[in-house]
Structure 1
Amino acid sequence: MPIEDYSGGVSSETDVIVVTTNDVPGYQVQEVIGEIFGLTVRSRHMGSQIGAGLKSMVGGELRGLTKTLVATRNQAMERLIEAARARGANAVLMMRFDVTDAAQVGTEVCAYGTAAVVAKTAP
């Protein structure tokens, strides 16, 4: 399977910088806008649940669930970036994920961070 199926992150084509750090090397924070988040809730597919239950008896990676979680995190990040743009930010600092069960019928994934305006520093 291609690595794209099992990894995520921000596209290199986006105009919003997303980092898990307090600052961005080579940039200066000009304005802190505030907390933002992107949220999605995915229901569990009955077929994948049955397959996961069977796989858990013999061990190994649950590839279907892994791919679903990657897609869900990527969707939450896309919504986070949309929220940053809507508030006038060009960066998200201290980005994190929070994942929880949603009433035992799905998984809630929240990408959150601090929206900010950053500018390149002079060399």
Structure 2
Amino acid sequence: MSINEFGGGQQEQSDVLVVTTNDVPGYRVERVIGEVFGLTVRSRNVGSQIGAGLKSLIGGELKGLTKTLVETRNQAMERLVEQARARGANAILAFRFDVTEAADLGTEVCAYGTAVVIAPQQ
């Protein structure tokens, strides 16, 4: 597996900047739009679960589950950016992920933050 399969985040040329900070150096917030989120729920793959169970006996990384979680987080982030863009934002501040179990059926991943319009400081 390549390093790209274990990482995530934003594409370089995105029109909506996503940051974990409360501000962006060199920019001012012109308008706060409000909270936005992207949500996805993934069911457990029986094959991955069996493989993970066996791997847990001998130790080591659960690469199949890692790859699935990266894909799930990326999907949640894409939905977050789509919602912010649709509401007129060009940035999302205080970006976070929340991961929970969904009724023993799968994993819920929520990407959330504050949609804003930013402009360069003058």
TM-score (norm. length: structure 1): 0.98
Q: Which structure 1 residue ranges, 4+ long, deviate > 6 Å from structure 2?
A: none
Long gaps (5+) in structure 1:
none
TM-score (norm. length: structure 2): 0.98
Give the superposed CA RMSD. 0.6
CA distance in 1, matches of 2:10, 2:44: 25
Q: 2:5 aligns to what? A: 5
Q: 1:16 aligns to what? A: 16
CA distance in 2, matches of 1:26, 1:10: 20
Deviation at 1:28, TM superposition (A): 0.7
Aligned ranges 1:1-123 → 2 under 5 Å: 1-122=1-122
Long gaps (5+) in structure 2:
none
Identical residues among aligned pairs (%): 72
What one-letter code is carried by the residue in structure 1 that aligns with 2:104?
Answer: Q
